[in-house]
Amino acid sequence: MEQYALLKALSDAFGVSGNETDVIRIFREELGFCPHWAGDALGGGYAAFEADSGKPKILLVAHADEVGFVVENLTDNGFIRFVTVGGWNHLTLCGQQVVLRTFGGEEIPGVIGAIPPHFLGSGDNFNEKELFIDVGARDRAELESWGIYPGCFAVPAPNFRTLKNEQFVMGKAFDDRVGLLVIIELFKKLRAIGMLPCTPLAGASVQEEVGCRGARTLAALARPDLALIIEGPPADDTPGLKDSLRQGILGGGPQPRAYDKTTIPSVPLLKLAVDTARDKGIPCQLAVRRTGSTDASQIHISDVGVPSLVISVPVRNAHSPVGILDIHDVDWTVDLLVAMLQKMDAGFVRQCRLQ
């Protein structure tokens, strides 16, 4: 599938945490040229060119799930109260279109409503618990007749499109469907290269947005020697953020993460990323994060430990109904990973594990 079409398919797919089947299916289909697939019991898994080559295993992983909503209860007059799944800025939700999936698999459109300003007093504050989903039902009985019950999930409505500058695209769930795109595009290039000094594994994890749960099961399944976590974190180049702290700029290239509160990366891996980017003329921007967590938080402490590094494609408006990214950053990230993997032989793995 062509790059834009593939990103659209990944972005549009319904994949709130615990409901990643459609996303994993696209991932597996696009990597159909990899003859080996192994899956964990939560729904994640990895593809590989070869099952067991004896060479070091490098797990490249992105998470398939997105932030979304789960039905909490139904009102007598036909509205839906919900709980957010994953981290949301609730100010982004009012008036947003959503798609709700019933237990029977039907997708029903709706909109997140709230009390209009006409009915709010000057002293009233925004209360996220007042939000509701309206699917146009007359009453609770009609909702139930459609198969809507507590426990059904919803996501923002698909909204993928290119912008006036066609290198910029917008859509939902770029965190972390852009990571899946990077891994798919990477493996297409690796297929053409042929022999590598390592065995790369194309991983897709689940339930990252609710505590990186699928990373733990995927790491137990793959038992990698090293791991590269490909993310779509918040860009920090928009108004309202301090210019001096900008480390995730659209068009600034891949973003290796030097630190966050849950993971300190492998020093040799971080150095390899930075040195390789410099040698190849690839833009690169280092990040130190005070907050945030990724699948690296679970993978790097799995088994006896897995030296790991997060490499990201920054996304504006992350964890909102629509994000924006620069396709240049995707391409540069793929190029960086291609070059890095060609240097990850057994000697490099020993260096990482003995630092």
pLDDT of residue 116: 79
List the catalytic residue out of 20, 30, 66, 208.
208
pLDDT of residue 355: 56
**292's torsion region: left (phi>0), alpha (psi -120 to 50) or beta?**
left
Active site residue 208: yes
* Burial letters 114-137, b for 16+ CB under 10 A, else e: beeeeeeeeeeeeeeeebbbebeb
Residue pointed to by tokens 């192994």: 38
Q: Domains of the chain (ranges plus CATH)?
A: 3-66+172-353 (3.40.630.10), 68-156 (2.40.30.40)
Q: HEC string of 175-209?
A: HHHHHHHHHHHHHHHHHHHCCCCCEEEEEEECCHH
pTM exceeding the 0.75 threshold for the entire prediction: yes
> Do strands 153-156 and 68-74 pair parallel, antiparallel, or not at all (unpaired)?
antiparallel
Yes or no: say if 164 and 322 are a contact pair by the CB < 8 Å rule: no
pLDDT of residue 135: 98
Spell out the per-residue pLDDT of the chain, length 355, in tens: 899 999 999 999 999 999 999 999 999 999 999 999 999 999 999 999 988 888 999 999 999 999 999 999 999 999 999 999 999 988 899 999 999 999 999 999 999 997 777 777 766 666 677 899 999 999 999 999 999 999 999 999 999 999 999 999 999 999 999 999 999 999 999 999 988 999 999 999 999 999 999 999 999 999 999 999 999 999 999 888 776 678 999 999 999 999 999 999 999 999 999 999 999 999 999 999 988 899 999 999 999 999 999 999 999 999 999 999 999 999 999 999 999 999 999 999 999 987 5
